[in-house]
Chain A
Amino acid sequence: MTPASPAADELNPAFIEVEHFSFWYGEKQVLFDIDMDIPEREISAFIGPSGCGKTTLLRNLNRMNDLVDGIRHEGDILIDSQSLYDRRVEVISLRKRVGMVFQKYNPFPKSIYENVAFSLRVAGRNKKSELDEVVERGLRGAALWDEVKDKLHESAYGLSGGQQQRLCIARAIANRPQILLMDEPCAALDPVATLKIEDLMLELKKEFTIVIVTHNLQQATRVADRTAFFYLGKLIEYDFSTKLFSNPSKRETEDYISGKFG
């Protein structure tokens, strides 16, 4: 596995722009003035100790936090130069552009086929030929096709944990989102399955902008082009992974990656 190492001058244009973003759950402020630009078709990893706000930020990128009562934000997040919080942006269409993979694999109580086809079905696209194509493309994209092509109409719960997580990835990428958010996608998997998912991510970044939250620093070094270190709701450092892990510019980062706390 080759560590991602983009040259310093090869800067992609920013695709996700987080602008002075602060966020509250009720009275409790969990994000403080986050400012970062995430470039297109790269893997960015969010690392940091538990409760540092990295998952909160990730869940704001597809407005998953809207489900929680009593939330409030300041600042703005732009995807492809359009604000997420614009009145004209429908949450549903936003979520079609931003796919998400969760920590716990959570396939629907449906067949493998219907799991992958779900995002098209809810969009009202029910044409058999189109669905067949999308399901195959999604499963191939998630490197699952060869394992399940003979049992597409069996329950998704019959798959192994790693396969279920890849199915969730297939489901998330089936409808061609631009961004793929991954919230500790390998936390519930064994090392072999983890390796498969990581390989998959490196393959997927050719098409998607990937943001991954991980507690596994080695994973960040293995797959991420850039890494952001969060601590106590603040963004401490965001840089190329090679630089952040070998030569961090902030004390907290160094303490964290060297294992002094965390």
Chain B
Amino acid sequence: MSQEVQATAASTRPRRAKGEVQVWLTAVGLSTGLIMIIGLLGLILWNGITVFWPKPVVEFALREADGKTTAVAGEVVKTRLRPADDGSAGKEEIQIFTGNKDAYGLAFRFIDGEAVTGRTEPRDLILAERMEYGDSLFYPIGLDLADGSRVEVADEKFDETFSQLVREAGERRREILHIEKKQIGRLNERIRSEEMAIRRLERSGGGDPAPHQAAIEAAQKEYEALAAEARRLRAEQESNILRYRLASGEERTQKLGDFVHYYRPNDLSWFGRLGVFSYHFFEFITGEPREANTEGGIFPAIFGTFVMTILMAVMVSPLGVIAAIYLREYAAQGLMVRIVRICVNNLAGVPSIVFGVFGLGFFVYGVGSFIDGGTKTPMPAVAWWLSGLAFIVNAVAAIVLAMNYGGSNPNLPKPNAVIRFLKPFTAVCAVLFGIATLVFNPYFDGFYSESLPTPTFGTGGILWASLTLALMTLPVVIVATEEALAAVPRGVREAALACGASKWQMIQRVVLPSALPGVMTGVILAMARGAGEVAPLMITGVVKLAPSLPIDLSAPFIHAERKFMHLGFHIYDLGFQSPDSEGAKPMVFATTLFLILLVVVMNLTAIRIRTQLKKKYQASAF
């Protein structure tokens, strides 16, 4: 066989199967993204969950420079090599969580790895959560009870008595909270509203304030009684005392009312650990924050985020859908609509802080203070009446023109040039005069003028924050809805018209149901974006610590003007504003985990609704 023949055979048969490099390249893109997302979520999940898991506490025996031996106990946080000054690897050092901030000044410390002469995990060591100064690690010595008797740790009654007293202290604490927050809060509300009534009477110049004053006095009497009860309970909180010894040997005492919860971290079975884990977990999601948010739970933040996101979705959906219907179904598709569409799309790219500033200026200072105290620049009465008249005339003219010329009904006569001009002109005039009549009304003094200068709506609140976010996410909903509307097949539209439906009936009964899953997609995206947003909220109503929830059991139940807490802001506050950043780190991870969980849960719910809608309204394949 000659070489030539061989060469021909080789050229007709490819040496190996050829793949396309691009496939590999695109796969790399996807996997990089996936790895980063999984890595991020995994990190947050692991660090967020392990916060609640009880870790063993180690007691270290340390040899000091002068030859003495001291002891320190704590949870090992991490071990690292401290680089020495000359750049060599340096010495090992161990970071431990010692707790007892009141005794040591700091809750964390580094110990020199070389100085450690012994490690033990003593079973009788107690880790106690306290109302102040964080956790404490100690060996109990004995209890000094209110009746003067003493229970030492060697006594077999000790454990029982201690746990019962801590439980009783917890119950009393809840009782105090109930009295001070709920009952006294309600009284304050009553006194305030009576005071407002007196102020209103003073302002209007007539009426007898005596019954109101009597009501205030009665309320104050009730207040005295409640306050006395609270004082009594507080005194009881301080009556029992625990004596304990720190690992360093120092002996201290503490009132039992300070203890929230305790356990022996080195004396737990696996199920015991699970119990402590679920206690921590439950306390975290249902509890209120303590000690500048670094301890306790995050329930107000979870609730605030949830309420704000729902409010936002409720406001953005109808607005976005209506706008998209007009843009896609009614507006004549021309240059103007194209410009509007481009503007809407660009709105989605505006930084969120800009929306925040707008929300502060427009909603809080503009609309809010208008609701509170009416306008600052009222029109002269004559001008106001004229403006109102102009509004009515223009509105009537706009409606009459719209109903008699052109538009979607082909039977109407085609408008001539004058009417083509008058139609939008009267509509715009009606809107302008309407706004002017509303905003410069000299007869309107606001709904909360009696409590001024304390603002009610004229300051940040959950309503304004939700509205700001609704504005921010509006483009997302509009774009998604428009696409969903455009995807409704022409055949179905024509069939509806052929059945004698008007255009609005067609949109309402056939087009919108078909487009609903697409609308839901938009709302899901909007919620995902809105729930995690922090910057605009910081200036429109989020606070570090809100005294009460935006929805509660006191009338009118939904308090749209209240400030609220938000998980995203909570993360920022814990991680970057807290005095003890090392101590706040686990809380940051746990809070992040719950923010992500909340967004995921809300999105899954929305996706579930969308799936059901799709099943119900799925457009036919053909």
Q: How far apart are A140's CB and chain B's nearest CB, in angstroms? A: 19
Q: Find out whether the CB atom of B499 lies under 8 angstroms from the CB atom of A122.
A: yes
A67 touches B411 (CB 8 A): no
Cβ of A172 and Cβ of B513 under 8 Å apart?
no
Judge whether B411 and A168 touch: CB under 8 Å.
no
**B-side contacts of A67, CB under 8 Å:** 494, 497
**What is the chain A residue whose CB lies nearest that of B498?**
A100
Tell me the chain A residues, 76-129 only, with Cβ under 8 Å from chain B. Answer: 87, 89-93, 95-96, 99-100, 102, 104-110, 118-119, 121-123
Give the chain A neighbours of B618 by CB distance below 8 A: 109, 155, 157
- Of the candidates A62, A104, A155, A188, which one forms a contact with B498 in the assembled complex, judged by CB atoms under 8 Å apart? A62
Query: Which residues of the partner chain B approach A93 to less than 8 Å between Cβ atoms?
Result: 500
Q: Report B-chain residues with C-beta under 8 Å of the C-beta of A118.
A: 496, 499, 501, 509
Complex-state Cα separation, A63 to B615, whole angstroms: 33
Q: Mark B496-529, 1 if CB is under 8 A from A, else 0.
A: 1111111001000110011000000000000000
B546 at the interface (CB under 8 A from A): no
The interface residues of chain B lying within 8 Å CB-to-CB of A99 are 498-499
- Given the complex of chains A and B, what is the CA–CA distance between A106 and B506 in angstroms? 14
Most A C-beta atoms less than 10 A away, residue of B489, B494, B500, B616: B500
CB pair A96 B494 closer than 8 Å = no
Query: A41 within 8 Å of B by Cβ?
Result: no
- Please indicate which of the listed interface residues A87, A157, A171 has the most CB atoms of chain B within 10 Å of its own CB: A157
Q: Contacting A123 at CB < 8 Å: which of B495, B500, B510, B616?
A: B500
Chain B min CB distance to A83 (Å):
13
Interface residues of B in 561-616 (CB under 8 A from A): 615-616
Does any Cβ of B come within 8 Å of A164's Cβ?
yes
Contacts of A119 in B (CB 8 A): 499-501
The yes or no answer to A49 lying at the interface (CB within 8 A) is: no
In the complex the two chains form, is B499's CB within 8 Å of A172's CB?
Answer: yes
In the bound assembly, the distance between CA atoms of A122 and B514 in angstroms comes to 17
With both chains docked as a complex, state the minimum distance between the C-beta of A195 and any C-beta of chain B, in angstroms: 20
By a CB distance below 8 angstroms, the chain A residues around B514 are 109
Instruction: Report yes or no: A122 in contact with B622, Cβ–Cβ below 8 A.
Output: no
Q: How far is the CB of B176 from the nearest CB of chain A, in Å?
A: 58
Interface secondary structure of B, over-half rule: helix
Q: Which of A30-62 contact B (CB under 8 A)?
A: 62
A63 touching B498, Cβ below 8 Å = no
Q: Does B491 contact A (CB under 8 A)?
A: yes
Contact A164 B620 (CB under 8 A): yes
Chain B residue, CB-CB nearest to A188 = B622
Q: How far is the CA of A121 from the CA of B505 in the complex (A)?
A: 10
Q: Is B619 an interface residue (CB 8 A)?
A: yes
Known: A91-B411, A105-B622, A161-B622. A64 touches B497 (CB 8 A): yes
B239 at the interface (CB under 8 A from A): no
A122 touches B498 (CB 8 A): no
Which residues does chain A contribute within 8 Å of B494, judged by CB atoms?
A: 64, 67, 100, 102, 106
Contact B499 A109 (CB under 8 A): no
Q: Are A104 and B500 in contact (CB under 8 A)?
A: no
Question: In the complex, what distance in Å separates the CA atom of A164 from the CA atom of B409?
Answer: 30
On chain A, the residues within 8 Å of B492 by CB distance are 106, 108-109
From B498, B615, B622, A64 is in contact (CB under 8 Å) with B498
Determine if A90 and B498 form an interchain contact, defined as CB atoms under 8 angstroms apart: no
Known: A66-B410, A91-B409, A91-B411. A108 touches B495 (CB 8 A): yes
A164 to B615, CA, bound (A): 17
Q: Which residues of A contact B410 (CB under 8 A)?
A: 63, 66, 91
Closest to A87 in B: B411
- Given known A-B contacts A91-B409, A107-B620, A171 and B495 have beta carbons under 8 A apart: yes
Q: Is the CB of B411 within 8 A of A89?
A: yes
* Distance A27 CA – B501 CA, assembled complex (angstroms): 30
The residue on A at minimum CB distance from B513 is A109
A66-B411 Cα distance, complex, nearest whole Å: 9
Chain B residue numbers with a CB within 8 Å of A108 are: 492, 495-496, 509-510
Q: How far is the CA of A118 from the CA of B509 in the complex (A)?
A: 9
Nearest B residue to A108, CB-CB: B510
Q: Digit string of A127-170 for contact with B (CB within 8 Å is 1, else 0)?
A: 00000000000000000000000000001010001001000100
| Residues of A close to B615: CB separation below 8 A | 155
B489 to chain A, nearest CB (A): 7
A175 at interface, CB cutoff 8 A: yes
CB distance from B407 to the nearest CB of A (A): 12
Whether the pair A90, B499 counts as a contact (CB closer than 8 A) is: no
Bound complex: CA of A100 vs CA of B501, how far in Å?
13
Q: CB within 8 A of B513: which of A110, A161, A168, A171? A: A110
Which residue of chain B has its CB nearest to the CB of A107? B620
A95 touches B411 (CB 8 A): no
Tell which of B495, B502, B509 touches A168, judged by Cβ atoms closer than 8 Å.
B495
**B617 beta carbon closer than 8 Å to chain A:** yes
User: Of B500, B510, B616, which one neighbours A96 at CB under 8 angstroms?
Assistant: B500
User: How far does the alpha carbon of A164 sit from the alpha carbon of B491 in the complex, in Å?
Assistant: 13
A109-B616 in contact given A64-B498, A95-B498, A121-B509 (Cβ < 8 Å): yes
In angstroms, Cα B622 to Cα A99, docked, is 21
B501 touches A172 (CB 8 A): no
Kindly provide the distance from the CB of A250 to the nearest chain B CB, expressed in whole angstroms. 33
Chain A residues with Cβ under 8 A from B617's Cβ? Answer: 109
Residue contact A104 to B622, C-beta cutoff 8 Å: yes
CB distance from A158 to the nearest CB of B (A): 10
Cβ-closest chain A residue relative to B501 = A122
Residues from chain A with a CB closer than 8 A to the CB of B622 are 104-105, 161, 188
User: Are A95 and B497 interface neighbours, CB within 8 A?
Assistant: yes
Cα distance A92–B495 when bound, in Å?
Answer: 13
- Residues of A174-217 whose CB lies within 8 A of B: 175, 188
Are B510 and A109 in contact, CB atoms less than 8 angstroms apart? yes
CA distance A155 to B617 in the complex (A): 8
B residues neighboring A (CB under 8 Å)? 409-411, 489, 491-492, 494-502, 505, 509-510, 513-514, 615-620, 622
Listed in ascending order, the chain A residues whose CB lies under 8 Å from chain B are 62-64, 66-67, 87, 89-93, 95-96, 99-100, 102, 104-110, 118-119, 121-123, 155, 157, 161, 164, 168, 171-172, 175, 188
A100-B494, A109-B513, A109-B618 provided; 17 other pairs, C-beta below 8 A?
A: A66-B410, A67-B494, A91-B409, A93-B500, A95-B499, A96-B500, A99-B498, A104-B491, A105-B620, A106-B492, A106-B495, A109-B617, A118-B496, A119-B499, A122-B502, A164-B620, A188-B622
Please name the 8 residue pairs, one residue from A and one from B, whose CB atoms are nearest each other, closest first. A106-B491, A109-B617, A100-B498, A96-B500, A66-B410, A119-B499, A122-B501, A95-B500
15 A-B pairs with C-beta separation under 8 A: A64-B497, A89-B411, A90-B411, A91-B409, A92-B502, A96-B500, A100-B498, A105-B622, A106-B492, A108-B510, A109-B492, A109-B510, A118-B501, A121-B509, A171-B495
